[in-house]
Amino acid sequence: MRTLAAIALLLPGCTPALVGTPPALTPVPTVAATAETAPVASADDAADDPAIWRNRRAPAKSLVVATDKQAGVHVYDLAGKRLSYTPAPRLNNVDLRDSGGRITVVASDRADIDRAHVSLFDLDPVTARLRPLGRFPVGAGEAYGLCLWTRARDGALFGFVVMKDGRIDQIAIDRTGTTPQVRTVRSMKLGTQSEGCVADDRTGQLYVAEEDVGLWRFAADPAAATTATAIARVDGATLVADAEGLALAPSGRTGGYLVVSSQGDNAYTLYRLPAVSYAGRFRIGGGAIDTTSDTDGIDLVLGDFGPAYPGGLFVAQDGDNAPATQNFKYVGWAAIRRALRLR
């Protein structure tokens, strides 16, 4: 792990209070998971990233799409039951958007480590099955992280593919024809290995985690500058390397929270938006379901998910689900808010 002094030089925009001695922290509350998915079929490091689809007409029938990066993509219900499985080896991160009567699912495809691709699917909400739409080349490098962004002014769909070396390729995804069209529209760069990202459809801001360094913000519009703004640092206290999955809890026009997997100490860190100020941390555990550890991907969607999750659903990958293989844990957003006393 890099020294704090070295990281401070890389991120000059971060608050000097985090250089050297980390700030005093309150004890980290633990929030119990209320459900977990069936374990993935592959052993070792396999489960990776979830994406949540909220069924507005029947919230309790919402779905979770999640990757087994050695084998394929699973679709689960809110009880964690596997409803379908689509073989597709070496898919890593996954995201989705519900628009125009279709649910588009996109995953970063690492099957060719020298030539990055994305794989596209349609999600059928009735059968809970994925229909493959094809693999599409993005550019050179190993596709690692991925997140989607819908531009508010025209509904255009974009993706951000985070390469393992820190390059970020933005792609435009056109679903207007019978066959999807995918093209790269610009590239951005961070200095070292990066993966987790999330884009805010409200504000047009893209957030990316550089694993051993910290969090960065970019303007999501392809016409904007590619300059990165440092917003938080891996400091060994509020955020512990690796900084992994990212998720959003939006509130109003610009407010809410950015949630980050603090993988190095099995916790999740929240930052208050839009200023990206530290808001607290929590861990998952303390109930009938085992704790999470070494979390890679996370997702969070607010709204009604039925009686089990009336305020929203948080899903986290569990890197150690022994004696079974890895899986994903479900936690209610209302329980997280209570534990951290969030407004």
**134 token code pair:** 């094809």
Domain ranges of the chain: 4-340
- Measure the CA–CA gap between 330 and 250, rounded to whole angstroms: 19
Task: Write down the residue that tokens 């704790």 correspond to.
Answer: 291
C-beta separation of 159 from 147 below 8 A: yes
**Nearest one of 157, 48, 185 to 108, comparing CA atoms:** 48
- Measure the CA–CA gap between 265 and 292, rounded to whole angstroms: 11
Question: In the CATH scheme, what is the code of domain 4-340?
Answer: 2.120.10.30
pLDDT tens track of the chain, all 343 residues?
A: 333 333 343 443 343 333 333 455 678 999 999 999 999 999 999 999 999 999 999 999 999 999 999 999 999 999 999 999 999 989 999 999 999 889 999 999 999 999 999 999 999 999 999 999 999 999 999 999 999 999 999 999 999 999 999 999 999 999 999 999 999 999 999 999 999 999 999 999 999 999 999 999 999 999 999 999 999 999 999 999 999 999 999 999 999 999 999 999 999 999 999 999 999 999 999 999 999 999 999 999 999 999 999 999 999 999 999 999 999 999 999 999 999 999 7
- Measure the CA–CA gap between 220 and 186, rounded to whole angstroms: 10
Q: 0.75 cut: is pTM over it?
A: yes
C-beta separation of 304 from 310 below 8 A: yes
**172 token code pair:** 């435009």
